[in-house]
Amino acid sequence: MAENTTFDEAKYNKLIAVIEELEDGLVHHATQSDTVPLDTDFQVQPDGQGWQAATNLVSKGKGFGGSVDQQNESLRQGLVKFRNALVAARGIFKDTDDLATYDIGRFVAEYPDFNTGGLGGGGGYGGGGNPFGGDNTPPETEEQPKK
């Protein structure tokens, strides 16, 4: 007979700590810098350029910095939500003798933040956390010639 799937609190707490460390890194290090932070003020060269190509470069740099900052914040919020869900669900793992037999429908109903479909954003072609968009269908692709 197979053994029960049991809860390892130390490993669970370590997972929570790793997620907290990732979130801290996103807040304090990913887009922050003493010299050139990656946000809407990001400049690849000084503002006020007279040459159109240089003006475009300044504009694109600010757009890039803003996009990186926005994605960073989206990821950070997803990590916080996941961490909070882990903390909230900790009790169920302690109270259940065999996790393999616990009803998934009940779990999702009691802890809906575990059923969000990923961190949103990113996620490949369609965003939302899975690499193929909403229905898990890969995009149409052309056959590539064999090399």
pLDDT digits over 44-90, tens only?
Answer: 888 888 999 999 999 999 999 999 999 999 999 999 999 999 998 88
Q: Is the pTM of this model over 0.75?
A: no
Question: Do residues 92 and 102 touch, judged by C-beta distance below 8 A?
Answer: yes
The better pLDDT of the pair 5, 17 is held by 17
Q: Which domain holds residue 69?
A: 9-115
**Has residue 41 got a pLDDT over 50?**
yes
Whether 3 is covered by a domain: the verdict is no
Rounded Cα distance between 37 and 53, Å, is 23
Task: Give domain status of residue 29, yes or no.
Answer: yes
Is 81 a member of any domain? Answer: yes
Q: Is residue 146, in this structure, part of any structural domain at all?
A: no
Question: 28 near 95, Cβ under 8 Å?
Answer: no
Q: How confident is the model at residue 14 (pLDDT cuts 50, 70, 90)?
A: very high
Fill in the DSSP letter of residue 27: I
On the question of pLDDT at 125 being above 70, the answer is no
